């Protein structure tokens, strides 16, 4: 479940934040048919922070009804309050989730100890394995290596979803993480434009935005990188470059809504106050999709 390609789809909703279960099922069925390694429901791409508890539960129930046991289902349960995250974890487990993704969502900046206690409390509320969601761009929280080490030894914390390492080489960061985590603890990366390098350096998983709507080319890239075929991975990654440029310019969150519309999967817009990409960018998104086809 924590290896290979984990696809993070958009969650189509109406303007009132109500999940379009039919459109969501359409998206998820594509992922199951493509045989991705797992589906990451209600991640940042899935707009978890903009949905009520009821709609998040409805999304998990719709997802499980759609994919059944075909693909493992990883569900985001991040919330501002610890008790709310615990409730979301129980809801996801009751609805049939296979694992949870937990980010330290905050308004007041959190300390390392506060995040540790938060993860302990949520892990005690569920029997499901948990993936640490390290997303400092969104949460403004930086996990220290000491904190990751403390969390990694909690029995049901099984993996970490890392951001791109910046100045540090992938191989060096992965080596550092492996030295402090127990055997079997999975290391994966988000940040789609750097994921191939992460996999080539030995990471187990790519937690992918683009795979949520374009699973086939993302799966090809994943398989080449895991196989150590650098030439093929670089060739495939080059095909994604126009899309990576759009992700960096407008934010992958906004671009994915436009892709969903262009593919005829849904007509939802991002939740306000987030605005759609400008109409002038849509021809560039179409051209990027053509490149991948």
Q: Which two tokens stand for residue 18?
A: 């109500």
133 catalytic residue (yes or no): yes
Sign of torsion, CA 117 2 196 252?
A: negative
Q: Which pLDDT tens digit goes with each residue over 48-65?
A: 999 999 999 999 999 999
Catalytic site includes residue 161: yes
pLDDT given at position 274: 98
CB atoms within 10 A of CB 94: 12
Binding-site residue ranges for pyruvate: 45
Q: pLDDT tens for residues 179-235?
A: 999 999 999 999 999 999 999 999 999 999 999 999 999 999 999 999 999 999 999
Give the tens place of pLDDT for each residue, 90-99.
999 999 999 9
Q: What is the CA radius of gyration of the chain?
A: 18
Q: Who's near 227: CB < 8 A, 6+ residues apart?
A: none
User: Nearest Cα to 143, choosing from 173, 185, 100, 183?
Assistant: 173
The tens digit of pLDDT for each residue in 227-242 reads: 999 999 999 999 999 9
Model pTM greater than 0.85?
Answer: yes
Choosing from 48, 64, 161, 207, the catalytic residue is 161
Classify 107 as helix, strand or coil. coil
4-227 domain in CATH 3.40.50.1980? no
Pairing relationship of beta strands 4-7 and 99-102 according to DSSP bridges: unpaired
* Domain ranges (residues) in the chain: 4-227
Res 2 pLDDT > 90:
yes
Residue among 49, 52, 57, 45 at smallest CA distance from 12: 45
Is the pLDDT at 166 greater than 90, yes or no? no
Residue of 133, 189, 207, 257 marked active site: 133
- Residues making up the binding site: 45
CA distances from 193 to 54, 137, 237, 252, 265 (A): 34, 16, 8, 11, 24
pLDDT at 293: 84
- DSSP classification of residue 268: -
């Amino acid at each position: 479940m924590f290896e290979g390609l984990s696809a993070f789809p958009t969650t189509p909703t109406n303007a009132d934040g109500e999940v379009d279960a039919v459109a969501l099922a359409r998206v998820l069925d594509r992922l199951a048919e493509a045989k991705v390694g797992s589906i990451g429901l209600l991640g940042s791409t899935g707009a978890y922070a903009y949905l009520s508890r009821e709609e998040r539960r409805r999304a998990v129930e719709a997802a499980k009804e759609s994919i059944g046991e075909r693909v493992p289902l990883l569900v985001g349960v991040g919330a501002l309050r610890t008790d709310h995250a615990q409730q979301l974890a129980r809801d996801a487990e009751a609805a049939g989730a296979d694992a949870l993704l937990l980010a330290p969502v905050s308004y007041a900046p959190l300390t390392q100890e506060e995040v540790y206690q938060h993860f302990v409390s949520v892990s005690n509320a569920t029997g499901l394995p948990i993936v640490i969601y390290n997303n400092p761009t969104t949460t403004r929280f930086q996990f220290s290596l000491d904190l990751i080490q403390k969390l990694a030894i909690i029995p049901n914390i099984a993996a970490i979803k890392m951001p791109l390492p910046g100045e540090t080489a992938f191989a060096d960061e992965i080596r550092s993480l492996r030295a402090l985590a127990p055997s079997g603890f999975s290391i994966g990366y988000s940040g789609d434009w750097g994921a191939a390098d992460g996999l080539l350096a030995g990471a187990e998983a790519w937690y992918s935005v683009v795979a949520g709507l374009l699973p086939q080319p993302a799966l090809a890239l994943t398989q080449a990188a895991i196989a150590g075929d650098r030439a093929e991975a670089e060739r495939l990654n080059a095909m994604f470059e126009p899309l990576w440029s759009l992700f960096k310019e407008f934010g992958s969150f906004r671009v994915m809504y436009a892709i969903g519309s262009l593919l005829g999967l849904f007509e939802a817009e991002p939740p306000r106050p987030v605005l759609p990409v400008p109409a002038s960018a849509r021809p560039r998104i179409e051209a990027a999709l053509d490149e991948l086809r």
